[in-house]
Structure 1
Amino acid sequence: MSPPIATPRSRALGFGLRKARKARGYGLRELARATGVHAAELSNWELGLRVPKIEEVALLLGQLRVLGEERDRLFELTRTAREPNWAEKEMPDAPAILTTLAEYERTAAAIFSWQPMLVHGLLQTPDYARAILSYGGSPPQLVEQRLRVRTIRQAAMREYRAPDCSFLLGEVALRQRIGGTETLTDQLRHLLDLPRRLAVRVVPSGGDFHPGLNGSFAVLQYSDLPSIVFLDQHRGSAYIYDEDQVADYKSAAKTVTSLALDVDESRAFIEGVIAELEA
């Protein structure tokens, strides 16, 4: 069974419950003793990994003396936390980790992404994405489903209130001939056509060690919730919520950013790679 995944709504509820607990000076074990709810269950609620029932939230809020608008807000979050989000309605057959990612992206205030080897999924052309998703003989139906997921995620980035985005690409990502020379060339031209608010920056190869060489990652930041990290790996994807670990990734993001060309320099670099491919 897959581990539970916190959603934006369940995280908002959990964050509100955690704030209320800390405002009253309760530790998790102390609140567990006062309410009869196991400390591990309280922790899962606060992390957004599980959604409490409305009567369980009422018990907590009563113990913590949460009243008025905040009480009503947390009750409303409890009622809606299990409802399908925007992404689940658009992609009812997609895996939960992908629909959750789409919702996290859509509700973020800012997104930082580092991809040393491949162009980020939000920036991929259909042919480039298809070449990646088809590797290993994946069934065509599954490939097309995943393509649709990417298309919907990309559409969300074009919304009026889309997040501020910084996409850092390693030089290798610009030269790896995914799908062949023509597909890669079209992909690079697509990068040049993207709106400037989707800032694409290149990290040239040949430098010393930096933490980004350990692999790709994305940091998603929110106006009213703690930041999270998303890892997309060969054997699966994962979210990181732990504040100390997220801080480490933010530090790594800052380091990688310091090594990147600026947006205009990156455009010139990409144009140079296109010229090489077409020579």
Structure 2
Amino acid sequence: MSKQLPVPAELEEASGQRARRRGAVRYLQNEAAPCAERMMLGYALRLRREATGLSAHEAARRLGGSPSKVSRIESGTISPKEGDLSKFFLMYGITDPEEQDRLRELLEAASKTAWWQPWAAVAPKYLQAVVSFEDMAIGVRSYDPIYLHGLLQTPEYARALIKRGRGSAATHATLAEFRAKRQERFAAASDKKLLCIVDEATLARPVGSAAIMHDQLEHLIELTYDSRVRLRLAPLYDYRVHVELGSATIFDFAGRLPTISFAEGYDGGLVIEDEQMVDRRVKAFDALATNSLEPHAMRRRLKAMLATSRY
């Protein structure tokens, strides 16, 4: 189920008024996954409503619906109908044909069957949300203190890791196929950038076998030369490296949608849209990246690990 979490006390302003929230904090488990295109459409409509000075209640009255409907459209929970979109154009003064076409394209994209639908029966809903964000984002920044990011994994590492989870052998094979397709799509999207901070402790924690880990380290060395995949290594035994951020993936959408942060848990995922909470995670991530080893130094460390370890 999806849980709306309370706003932490730190978000309260000095006046006692609650700080303006950009979005929700949602813990996703088994409910329908958020769709990035739908969220982009809702965000664009909300900006237009605010620019006109209309309240959500007034917009709902003119639309002939409830305030909750407007709220769900703006949050990306549901898509507006084509007729409703035309009403929004009229209400908000959206007369530019190019802008209208762009919003219609978002509505059409949100209504299409997602490319991952063949894997929907086995891929958790929160993972489908991650893939949706990954598809639409221009930049992805990620740090995981336990395992390697899915886009960095070799097929063997991925299969060995997936086998640890719940489900049958057939389910594990399907999930591994899904991960491979996800990597393939990212590789084909030349405009996307990925910045991953790899924790050295992750590489010391074996997955599968020594041979699998050896190949995985060699793969990471190759990726340090990739201009689209910027890697950093958070080293052990460095007092400047603070990893309290924990698992965090940050999606940047180049203004089409505010930055979103995601944290994967054992059986679900936390989607954070609240502006201040996202901003704190971005700053913590950037600080960790600054104090982590850059690609050339990471490459030397990985080669030394291969030369001196059992891998």
- Give TM-score, length-normalised by structure 2: 0.81
One-letter amino acid matched to 2:91:
Q
Partner of 1:212: 243
Q: Is 2:249 the counterpart of 1:221?
A: no
Inter-partner Cα distance in structure 1 for 2:253 and 2:305: 35
Inter-partner Cα distance in structure 2 for 1:78 and 1:55: 12
Tell me by how many angstroms 1:202 deviates: 0.5
Greater shift in the superposed pair: 37-46 or 171-180: 37-46
Inter-partner Cα distance in structure 2 for 1:174 and 1:13: 40
Inter-partner Cα distance in structure 2 for 1:76 and 1:214: 37
Contact 1:217–1:231 at 8 Å: present in 2 too?
A: yes
Q: Which has the higher contact order (CA 8 A, sep 6+)?
A: 2
Equivalent position to 2:233, from 189, 202, 214: 202
Partner of 1:44: 72
Per-residue CA distance 1:160-179 (angstroms, 9 max, x = gap) = 52411111011101111111
Greater shift in the superposed pair: 209-218 or 257-266: 209-218
Tell me by how many angstroms 1:207 deviates: 3.9
Inter-partner Cα distance in structure 1 for 2:187 and 2:109: 26
Partner of 1:191: 220
SS in 2 for 1:52: coil
SS in 1 for 2:151: helix
Tell me by how many angstroms 1:260 deviates: 0.6
SS in 1 for 2:301: helix
Equivalent position to 1:144, from 160, 173, 177: 173
Per-residue CA distance 1:252-271 (angstroms, 9 max, x = gap) = 21121122111100111111
Q: Structure 2: any 5+ residue segments left out of the alignment? A: 2-29
Inter-partner Cα distance in structure 1 for 2:166 and 2:275: 39
Inter-partner Cα distance in structure 1 for 2:277 and 2:139: 18
Q: Are residues 68 and 136 of structure 1, via their aligned partners in 2, closer, same or farther at CA, if it must alter by over 3 Å? A: closer
Inter-partner Cα distance in structure 2 for 1:149 and 1:237: 18
Partner of 1:29: 57
Contact 2:79–2:107 at 8 Å: present in 1 too?
A: yes
Inter-partner Cα distance in structure 2 for 1:61 and 1:242: 27
Instruction: Give the number of the structure whose residues are more often helix, by fraction.
Output: 1
Partner of 1:269: 301
Question: How do 1:48-63 residues align onto structure 2 when only pairs under 5 Å count?
Answer: 48-63=76-91
Q: Are residues 80 and 37 of structure 1, via their aligned partners in 2, closer, same or farther at CA, if it must alter by over 3 Å? A: same
Contact 2:252–2:258 at 8 Å: present in 1 too?
A: yes
Contact 2:261–2:273 at 8 Å: present in 1 too?
A: yes
Q: Structure 1: any 5+ residue segments left out of the alignment? A: none
Question: How do 1:64-83 residues align onto structure 2 when only pairs under 5 Å count?
Answer: 64-69=92-97, 70-83=99-112
Partner of 2:272: 240
Equivalent position to 1:104, from 128, 133, 145: 133
Percent identity, aligned pairs only, is: 26
- Give TM-score, length-normalised by structure 1: 0.89
SS in 2 for 1:14: helix
Contact 2:240–2:291 at 8 Å: present in 1 too?
A: no
Contact 1:11–1:47 at 8 Å: present in 2 too?
A: yes
Inter-partner Cα distance in structure 1 for 2:148 and 2:304: 17
Tell me by how many angstroms 1:157 deviates: 2.2
Contact 1:185–1:274 at 8 Å: present in 2 too?
A: yes
Contact 1:125–1:190 at 8 Å: present in 2 too?
A: yes
SS in 2 for 1:184: helix
